[in-house]
Amino acid sequence: MFVTHNVLTHTARWRECSSLFLIHLNRLLFFGADSMGDTSDKLPDIEKSSKDYSSQKYGGEDKAMAELLEKNQQLEKQKADLLALIKKQMKLIDILKKQKIHLESTRIIQFTEDELIHLFGIDKKDQNM
């Protein structure tokens, strides 16, 4: 008997809730029909503005992506140019080091030649003859 009482109370509550829901739904359908007529006329405009917004959003992203890719290509080109310049500079530095070594060796040779001339007592006047 207790179980049937619970079932009856739940059933009564369900009917009450469902009737309130139906009343609320009917109100929305009835009063919403007037506002739906207004919005159905605006629906194409809303869809168009939505598409425009999405195209601006994604089109802007595509444009930004294209700009970033272009900037990336420019930076890659600059990087390649800088690497080529660095390689050329390294070659020039090597050449300058070799020239410096040759200059130092000629100074040393000249110094030893002058010492030998002085040691043997040969004058430069005698060398010219």
Look at residue 71 in the predicted model and tell me its pLDDT: 93
Look at residue 128 in the predicted model and tell me its pLDDT: 58
Give the end-to-end CA distance of the chain in Å, rounded to a whole number. Answer: 149
* Amino acid making up residue 91: K
Q: What is the pLDDT along the chain (129 residues), one digit of tens a residue?
A: 555 666 677 777 777 777 777 777 777 776 665 555 556 666 666 666 666 655 555 556 788 888 999 999 999 999 999 999 999 999 999 999 999 999 999 888 888 888 888 888 876 555 555
Look at residue 32 in the predicted model and tell me its pLDDT: 63
Gap between the Cα atoms of 29 and 36, Å rounded: 9
Look at residue 33 in the predicted model and tell me its pLDDT: 56
Instruction: Compute how many other C-beta atoms are within 10 angstroms of the C-beta atom of residue 117.
Output: 14
Beta-carbon contacts of 127 under 8 Å, excluding residues fewer than 6 positions away, are 117
Report phi then psi at 49, rounded to 5.
-65, -35
